[in-house]
Amino acid sequence: MSTDAESSKLPVREHIRSFCIIAHIDHGKSTLADRLMEHTGLLGERDKTAQYLDRMDIERERGITIKAQAVRMNYEADDGTVYQLDLIDTPGHVDFNYEVSRSLAACDGVLLVVDAAQGVEAQTLANVYLALDADLEIIPVINKIDLPSADVDNAKAEIEEMVGLDASQAICVSAKTGQGIDELLEAIVTYLPAPKADPEGPVKALIIDSWWDNYRGVISLVRVMSGTMRAKQEVRFMATDKRYDILETGVFAPEPRKLDKLEAGEVGFLICNIKDVVDSKVGDTIVLASDGESDPLPGFQEVQQMVFAGVFPTDSNQYADLRDALGKLTLNDASVTWEPETSDALGFGFRLGFLGLLHMEIIQERLEREYNLDLITTAPSVKFRITHNDGTVEIVDNPARFPDTGDIQMIEEPMIIGRIQLPEDYLGPVIKLCQERRGIQQDLTYMTTTRVQLTYELPLAEVVFGFYDQLKSCSRGYASLDYDHGEYRRANLVRLDLMVNGEKVDALSLITHKDNSFFRGRDLCVKMKEEIPRQQFEVAIQAAVGSRIIARTTVKALRKNVLAKCYGGDASRKRKLLEKQKKGKKRLKAVGNVEIPQGAFHAILKLDQ
């Protein structure tokens, strides 16, 4: 087991193992990382907390990993050799797939974790393909063998049939109880290779993550591919051609620990007194400033944002704070794009691009928590490709910028190829859901006698509106979804506008298929009626496509009882009072403003639920 004294003795490069844990969401990656740290002596009794590497409050509350985390452990094997283990814990949700690909670039092997009760699921396969593309050694690990519903033999059979790996050497563990962890550690040092890196070569390091620290500026997490990095070296960031002196090198074990140097094959952090967040770009190559022409290392594939939404501060005075917060947040989450945007209803804000709906929720929550902002998010949209009558092509991700129907020759929408894995008992409801979302069935494969993989081509615009929640609902949580981005396909789409009291609310506009526009418009009007408070006058809520009103509902006026003091008497007196009240309300309606509450913008996300 490791001690502080042992930590100072760095093992030779042949005794370094860099690996990450990949799995479907909720298969026990973070808990397994906890047990590995515990068994190598990194976590004492006082440090033990569930999912120790999930540092953000939002990760602990949701029980998911959002940001990949790196940690160094020292392990004394059965033969007495001390090994240095560089572990990276990765997310499992499809929205955070880019975090997995970044982590794999820093590793020489992976632990593929499969839930003994759930078996192989969609994201298991997606992550395996990423590891195979990176040509990494894979050790299958079957977790949760302590569960009463665990079926180890079935999990091994699924690994062999669906993944194509030999499961005879799979390590069976329970990350919860610690059973099998020692065997797993031995397998890591036995089967995973040492890094293929040259400590005597020119300095080259790949940035796999970076984040902002209020006291130390930008901190970069790097994998040293060749050479040795140490304090006081002047280095050059190749993407921006900026030069900085290294102030400090170190590792996370699991808290930051300063080291004299980082050698080839190691994963650690660099602090270079960088004050501008764009200078440390994830995927960039760091070399010595004195090196002449160096070829950059292959970085990461540029992520494509698929879902777009407007984010506005509820208080217009927070606009500058929101801009600064986005600059710092996007430093270590380069998958978010942002640009300024204005709205008649909401004022000044930003248009953000996300990888998916969960990603959007997480970013909004992080902005509100970490930077103390109060935000409104508009309805999500995707990138539509519009061909105008004059032949020009335009990409539109904001319904407010959607051109008039008369100026449009053709509209195309992005498609996805979705792979849904589920027990065959729920095949009927899932097929029905996909058909309702304008899906086209591509394939239906029996992976085992009871488990099916359903492949559908689906419009991305249909998936961003509650598809994932409905999929889980109609399969009782057993279905899992993974998808790849497909091509653009021609579609009959229209812009649906919401009008409150005759005024168009641009922030609540959305793009929908013409066949669904009436139902979407009706549902939107009903949702808004629940959210908009009653006024002293009647408020009309209308859904419109172009100049045509397709749905309407009315928020009834608050009515003061003007007849309270009339105890009988002539009926004409009562009628006179009511007519006077009616005229007053009519006059108020002409000049009165309706304030749209924040909940109305969130309600649009639940249209299909």
Using CA atoms, how far apart are residues 35 and 109, in angstroms rounded to an integer?
19
Residue 302 in domain: no
Q: How long a stretch of residues is the chain?
A: 609
Q: Which residues are annotated as a binding site for GTP?
A: 26-31, 143-146
CA 135/CA 99 separation, integer angstroms: 18
What CATH number is associated with residue 454? Answer: 3.30.70.240
Residue 337 backbone phi and psi in degrees, to 5: -110, 155
Cβ neighbours of residue 17 under 8 Å, at least 6 residues apart?
83, 84, 85, 86, 108, 109, 188, 189, 192, 194
User: For every residue of 26-93, which 3-state class applies, written as one string?
Assistant: CCCHHHHHHHHHHHCCCCCCCCCCCCCCCCCHHHHHHCCCCCCEEEEEEEECCCCCEEEEEEEECCCC
Same domain (yes/no): 363, 401: no
Same domain, 498 and 564: yes
Note the pLDDT of residue 597: 66
What are the residue ranges in the chain where pLDDT is below 50?
1-10, 46, 48, 50-56, 59-60, 62-63, 65-66, 589-591
Could you give the C-alpha distances from 24 to 50, 90, 120, 405, 480, in angstroms and in order?
19, 10, 8, 43, 9
Query: Are residue 157 and residue 56 in the same domain, yes or no?
Result: yes
The phi, psi pair for 24, rounded to 5°, reads: -70, 160
Same domain flag for 472 and 498: no
Q: Tokens 């494509």 belong to which residue? A: 304
Q: Is residue 198 part of a domain?
A: no
Range of the domain at 502: 494-606
Structure tokens given for 566? 């009339």
Q: What tens digit of pLDDT does each residue of 53-74 get?
A: 444 455 445 445 445 568 888 8
Cα–Cα dist 306/485, whole Å: 9
Model confidence over 566-590: pLDDT tens digits?
Answer: 766 677 777 777 777 676 656 554 4
Which DSSP helix (H) or strand (E) runs through 326? helix 319-332
Q: What is the CATH number of the domain that holds 519?
A: 3.30.70.2570
548 and 486 share a domain?
Answer: no
Residue 33 lies in a domain: yes
Separation CA 220–CA 205 (nearest Å): 11
> Is 31 in the same domain as 168?
yes
d(CA 350, CA 172): 48
11's tokens: 């093992």
Q: Please, where are the H alpha helices in 491-534? A: 517-531
Residue that is written with structure tokens 């777009």 in the block: 308
- Domain-located, residue 525: yes
Query: Is residue 367 domain-resident?
Result: yes
In this structure, are 514 and 474 located in the same domain? Answer: no
| C-alpha distances out from residue 422 to 94, 426, 428, 450, 474, Å | 16, 7, 11, 9, 11
- The C-alpha atoms of residue 82 and residue 75 are separated, in whole angstroms, by 6
Strand partners, 406: none
Same domain flag for 34 and 167: yes
Over the stretch 200-252, which tens digit does the pLDDT of each residue have?
888 899 888 777 777 888 888 888 988 899 888 889 888 888 888 999 998 88
CATH of the domain at 274: 2.40.30.10
Q: Is residue 296 part of a domain?
A: no
Same domain, 360 and 404: no
Q: What is the structure's pLDDT at 468?
A: 78
From residue 4, give the alpha-carbon distance in Å to each of 20, 288, 465: 24, 31, 51
Binding-site residues, in ranges, read: 26-31, 143-146
Domain termination site, one of 346, 377, 408: 377
Burial state string for 84-93 with b = 16 or more CB within 10 A and e = fewer than 16? bbbbbbbbbb
DSSP β-bridge partners for residue 250: 258, 269
For residue 293, the SS3 value is coil
Contact yes or no for 122/481 (Cβ under 8 A): yes
Which of these three, 161, 191, 221, is where a domain ends? 191
CA 98 to chain centre: 9
Question: What pLDDT does residue 97 have?
Answer: 63
**Measured distance CA(281)–CA(86) in Å, rounded:** 22
Which run of H or of E encompasses 386? strand 384-388
Strands 267-271 and 217-226: antiparallel
Boundary-marking domain end, from 156, 191, 226: 191
503 and 576 housed in the same domain: yes
**348 shares a domain with 273:** no
| Structure confidence at residue 89 (pLDDT) | 67
Total-model pTM: 0.71
End-to-end Cα distance, the chain: 52
The tally of domains found in the chain comes to 5
Same domain? For 151 and 251 the reply is no
* Phi–psi pair at 204, nearest 5 degrees: -145, 130
| Residue 95 token pair | 């929205």
Q: 3-state DSSP call for residue 14?
A: helix
Nearest CA to 96 out of 70, 119, 128, 64 is that of 64
Q: Do the domain assignments include residue 294? A: no
Of 446, 419, 512, give the one whose Cα is nearest residue 128: 419
Residue 300 in any domain: the answer is: no
